[in-house]
Amino acid sequence: MAYKVDFKNVSTIGLESSSVAEALAGLRANEARYFWNKYKHHFITIPAAENPEIIAWIKKILAERDLHFSYKALEVSQLEVEGIKFAYAFYENGLVVNIMYSLTDRKKRAVGFKLADGITIPPEFEGKFKFARQKSKLAGTIRGSFFVIKNEY
């Protein structure tokens, strides 16, 4: 079932099985606020099991950097605004992976990683990525990193 993410009243709907559900819900709300403020677009998520194609596309892109996650994806989102395709996966352990893939400008293609407040950096990232910190009213401290997508997907 689709969920229109509310960034004013943070809810753990769909994320209840996560040990960091509150922080993960804050990250999801933070993304919803971004899309509303920048594009006036609602951020809609669905259970990951309802659209495995999104996870498959994300996995294909992550393989570019030899990244493979065994974490359970709880929710996904996919949208296209202003010629940019976005895909999100919210994982049970508190990791959020997002893809920004411009359909017209190869320079605007990247994979972003965000870690929910309170989780440790997963071992897959050790020695490969540095994480910057950002404060958020909705999500507490967000740690994030990214890489530029080189191939066509």
Within a domain: 153: no
Within a domain: 129: yes
- 145 class by beta-carbon count within 10 Å (0-12 exposed, 13-18 middle, 19+ buried): middle
Residue 125 structure tokens: 């990232």
The residue segments making up the domain with residue 22 are 3-148
Within a domain: 101: yes
How many angstroms separate the Cα of 145 from the Cα of each of 56, 123, 136, 152? 21, 14, 16, 21
Does the predicted model carry a pTM greater than 0.85? yes
Among 112, 1, 91, CA closest to 51? 1
pLDDT per position as a tens digit, 42-96: 999 999 999 999 999 999 999 999 999 999 999 999 999 999 999 999 999 999 9
Number of domains the chain is built from: 1
